[in-house]
Structure 1
Amino acid sequence: MRNQQWSKVKKKLDSFICDSLRNRVQFTVTNYRKAHDQLGRAFITVDKKEVLNMCTIVSSREIFWKGHEIRNAQSIEYDVCNKKENYEIGIQAHEMIKAEGIFAQYDFFDAVEEYFHLPIEKVLESDHIIIKIFSLIDRRVGKRTLQRMRESIQNEQEIIQYFYNLRCEADGIRGLCKK
């Protein structure tokens, strides 16, 4: 998917947004040419207000610090020659920050690609925060499905609850969204 133009990917992604949120939710990608990897950030806005920022620089910094915490907790000294250990700690740190809701631009692209290839039933079952957000604003998800999700959404992260409440409000089922 990274070989595709963002405008085409965005158009396809936008086509999945439900009618009630079509002009309210936007996906944006910004690349920084002068960054060492020329990556930047992806972000989701609702009513022109940024609600989820997926910045590669922030993610990289958090992976570094989380890796440092892992090494300290396990009394592992950094060895530049031990590539396997460094790689495994990096993967573990990345998974930990994603679980905390910290994403890089490439995490957004990976989630979009996975979302495009999954049937809606699998999208709804996903544990991936970004894919879960996509499912909550997806036009293929109806009011009855949203109502069935109410119990499980209460145990989700704040950003997922936000999108659930946004969709409920937009579809006129506000009573379901209150705790």
Structure 2
Amino acid sequence: MRWTKRKQLIEAFICEPLNNRISINRIVYRKSHDQEARMTITFDNKEIFVADNIQYALKSFQLELEGVAQNFDTSIEERKKYFSCTMTKDEASHYNNKIALYEQMIKTATEEQGIYAVYYLEDFFDYYLLSIDDALKHKHELIRAFAMIDKRLGKRKFESLDMSNEHTLVQQFYEIRRKSMEEI
């Protein structure tokens, strides 16, 4: 499905007071090497969420240099063996698990600093397929945050939400909705 159609479907869930104040934009740099992308959510023309593949790559590389995943250890011999396809299936599986764990550590550290990559937001692009309860309990903070401004989230349920242990992004969207409800 094209982005413009997905955008329409997702933006259709924005509650009435915020309907014309929040916008989702996606930019794909077609002439860049890997057609890198950037996605923003704006509130009153100010960016409140940004996902940028280039900034994400730069930050994750910086975190690698700073030693964020120091306990990740692969020897040169292990890498040579892996890339020359001379490992057994069990060894290759173990190596793949180590790589996946390392990538997850870097991803978590980067996202904790508020820098996201568009290619990790595929769940958000299918937001319109989620129920409001699934969106509120989702593992990704962007989906939980967007649920705060979803018109399917009723006033009583909204007021009963506990934001004390939530991600700052979710709290930010919660405050936007709360203030918009006060203005009515």
Residues 146 and 173 in structure 2, CA contact (< 8 A), matched pair in contact too:
no
Q: Does 1:158 align with 2:155?
A: no
Task: Report the 3-state secondary structure (helix = DSSP H, G, I; strand = E; otherwise coil) of the residue aligned with 2:121.
Answer: helix
Residues 70 and 89 in structure 1, CA contact (< 8 A), matched pair in contact too:
no
TM-score for both structures, normalised by structure 2: 0.79
CA distance 1:39–1:110, change in 2 (3 Å): farther
Q: RCO higher in 1 or 2 (8 Å CA, sep ≥ 6)? A: 2
Q: How do 1:1-179 and structure 2 match up within 5 A?
A: 4-68=1-65, 69-71=67-69, 73-74=70-71, 76=73, 79=76, 80-81=79-80, 82=82, 84=96, 85-113=98-126, 115-149=127-161, 152-172=162-182
Count of matched residue pairs: 167
* CA shift for structure 1 position 99: 4.1
- What letter matches 1:29 in structure 2? R
- What letter matches 2:165 in structure 1? N
- 1: distance between equivalents of 2:37 and 2:148? 25
- Tell which structure's C-alpha radius of gyration is larger: 2
- 2: distance between equivalents of 1:160 and 1:27? 16
Task: Report the 3-state secondary structure (helix = DSSP H, G, I; strand = E; otherwise coil) of the residue aligned with 1:167.
Answer: helix
Q: Which runs of 5+ in 1 are unaligned?
A: 175-179
Residues 38 and 51 in structure 2, CA contact (< 8 A), matched pair in contact too:
yes
TM-score for both structures, normalised by structure 1: 0.81
- 1: distance between equivalents of 2:75 and 2:56? 20
Counterpart of 1:177?
none
Q: Which runs of 5+ in 2 are unaligned?
A: 83-94
